[in-house]
Amino acid sequence: MAVLNRKRTAFKLFSRMVLLLAITSGVGLLAHLIKLDRQQVLASSVFIMIVMATLLFWQFRLAIAFVGISVLMGTKTLDLPTFIKECKLDVILFLVGMMVTVGVLKELGLFTWIIQSVIKTRRMTGPMFVVIVAVLAALMSCIVDEVTSIVFIATLIFQVCDTVKVRPTPFIIIAVMATNIGSTGTMLGNPVGILIGQNAIPPLSFPDFLKWSFPIMLVTLSASIGVLLWWFWRDIRLLSERLETRREMGLGLGPLVQVPYKRGLGILVGMIAFIALHHHLESYLGLAPNTVLIMAPLVIAGLLMIWRHERARHYIEADVEWWTLLFFMMLFAVAGALQHTQVTEKIAGYFQTAFGNRLSILTPVIISISAFGSAFVDNVVFVAAFIPVVNKLGHTPLLWALLQGACLGGNATMIGSTANIVALGMLEKRYRTHVHFFEWFKAGVIVAVFSCLVAWGGIAALSPYMPTRAQRELEAVTNLQDSQKHLEINSHQTETSQSGGPGASVFMDIIFPEKM
């Protein structure tokens, strides 16, 4: 039996490997046929190889990404300076800072307090629990990130479901979907948020997300909660009955302890405020766009590590997901190679040829493509490759369409986002139970399609009020000039101001990388 199983596993791996090589070669051949040059063919093939690796060899994705990068460097498709530039260390460091801070907040009891606040809610009913869980998951996803959010929310769900003995799967699915929707709300919600924010031309700020994406998220979330309440009504009604029985017996949903949460809450609020004010601080200090945004989690994490120096190594080693971050770095570099070899420019050209330049057509197209792609492969892969295309198309609403599609599409399948995989892993580990692909898919497709439609409506409604790319560029230049003036006054560095200065050149490079 064991031998048979080993043979089956080996056959499965072999057939997947054949599929990976076939698709990679197929893409390479296709790229060659459409007259891409050698480097473009290689960059496209390696990119597709990594995309397929995330789909077929989830456990080996980092190893395959390492090999892919080596191939690109060995064939001179990607040189070392470009690799280092395209790794997007700014995004990686931002995520490191966030992960360390979340680790400290967890130990300080902030998340314990949040969960306790939910389980001690009086007269809790099934629908109320679902609404609380969904809203909390979405907001936590906005404030920390989707993975952190789902880890804590899943723990809350397990606690309640274990106590009242109901099946946790529907509530986990609800929470994951709310988390994915919530992750579109701010830049912090999802790695693709910071990726889009940082790589949009010119970059988007935290207030931009609050202004244009957060309201759409709220509407999408409310509508999706309605759909989820309807879809899982039977399980929710059972939860209501069990909660009622437990309440009649005078029993709670778990032990409650006095948690000294205020320090943790203070740190979180401080960090959010720091991040929210980044635009103003950058203008005031004369810093390049989003410098404070990247700096804020690092500063907070650094200070926390000094304060809790005896645990500092633990935070870095245990709380930071190095595996994921390294994968992201490789992915960014491969996507960078696509841009470097001007493959993305060609794709943008094909896009414009196929769909024209009308926003009313491009918005649903971008949402649909990114949602469909994110349903099956890591949304970071998709966004990393697509952001240069969207930049090239030049419409601001398309940035939000990319964000919405990439995050909301993840709800369609159980492998659609990191949050889905983490939550299902927790479910499997705790209950030794599997969620069937179609159990998720049926609800997932409905929610994904519905939320994408709502998001499309939201973007269409807000589009007339959104600044155009030219307006954003103008604003960025104005800010840059203000910053320069401020710097001149403060630093008295006359030689820098006379020559236009290296500082200005760096800023311009960040704001308009394509023009430099």
Partner 1 sequence: MSKGKTAIQFSSLFGPAEIICQTELTDRDSILLELLRLLAYERSIGNVHEVYKMILERESEAPTIVGSGIAMPHARLPTIDQIVVGVATSKKGIVYAKNVDNPIKLIILTVSPKASPAAYLQAMSSVAKICQDPATADVVAELPTAEKVWKFFDQGGIILPSYVRACDIMRPAKVKLQEHDTLEKAITLFVRHGLRDLPVVDKDDNLVGVVTTYELLRVCLPDYVLWMEDLTPILNFEPFAEILRKESKTWLAEIMTNEYATVDADSPAIQVAKEITRQRVDRAYVVRGEKLVGVVSLGTFLDRVLRG
Task: List residues near partner 1 by CB under 8 A.
Answer: 106-109, 111-112, 115-116, 152, 155-156, 158-159, 163, 165, 249-252, 254-260, 311, 432
Q: Which is nearer to partner 1, 66 or 431 (by Cβ)?
A: 431
Q: How far is CA 62 from the centre of its chain?
A: 18
- The answer for residues whose C-beta is within 8 angstroms of residue 152's C-beta and 6 or more apart is 111, 114, 115, 140
DSSP structural state of residue 317:
I
Q: Which is nearer to partner 1, 260 or 500 (by Cβ)?
A: 260
Q: Which is nearer to partner 1, 15 or 245 (by Cβ)?
A: 245
Q: What does the CA dihedral 265, 424, 227, 197 come to, rounded to 10 degrees? A: 60
- The residue assigned the tokens 């530039």 is 85
**Shortest CB 114 distance to partner 1, Å:** 9
**Shortest CB 229 distance to partner 1, Å:** 25
DSSP structural state of residue 211:
I
Please give the Cα distance from 363 to 345 (Å, whole number).
Answer: 18
Nearest one of 502, 411, 453 to 138, comparing CA atoms? 411
- CA 86 to each of CA 55, 235, 333, 334, 503: distance values in angstroms, whole numbers, following the listed order: 23, 47, 5, 8, 21
Q: Which is nearer to partner 1, 48 or 253 (by Cβ)?
A: 253
**Shortest CB 107 distance to partner 1, Å:** 4
Q: What does the CA dihedral 24, 26, 28, 33 come to, rounded to 10 degrees? A: -170
- The residue assigned the tokens 């390294």 is 326
Q: Which is nearer to partner 1, 211 or 242 (by Cβ)?
A: 242
**Shortest CB 118 distance to partner 1, Å:** 10
Residue 257 gets the label, from left (phi > 0), alpha (psi -120 to 50) or beta, of beta
Nearest one of 381, 414, 473, 344 to 50, comparing CA atoms? 381
**Shortest CB 508 distance to partner 1, Å:** 46
Q: Which is nearer to partner 1, 109 or 458 (by Cβ)?
A: 109
**Shortest CB 255 distance to partner 1, Å:** 4
Q: Which is nearer to partner 1, 261 or 507 (by Cβ)?
A: 261
Other CB atoms within 10 Å distance of the CB of residue 4: 8
**Shortest CB 225 distance to partner 1, Å:** 24
- Taking 3-state DSSP, the helix, strand and coil percentages for the chain, each rounded to the nearest 5, stand at 80, 0, 20
**Shortest CB 93 distance to partner 1, Å:** 25
Nearest one of 436, 457, 368, 364 to 406, comparing CA atoms? 368
Answer yes or no: are the C-beta atoms of 356 and 391 closer than 8 Å. no
Q: Which is nearer to partner 1, 255 or 464 (by Cβ)?
A: 255
Tokens of 241: 């009955």
**Shortest CB 260 distance to partner 1, Å:** 7
**Shortest CB 282 distance to partner 1, Å:** 34
Helix runs in 277-357, H state only: 278-285, 291-307, 312-314, 322-340, 343-355
Q: Which is nearer to partner 1, 109 or 197 (by Cβ)?
A: 109
Q: Which is nearer to partner 1, 102 or 398 (by Cβ)?
A: 102
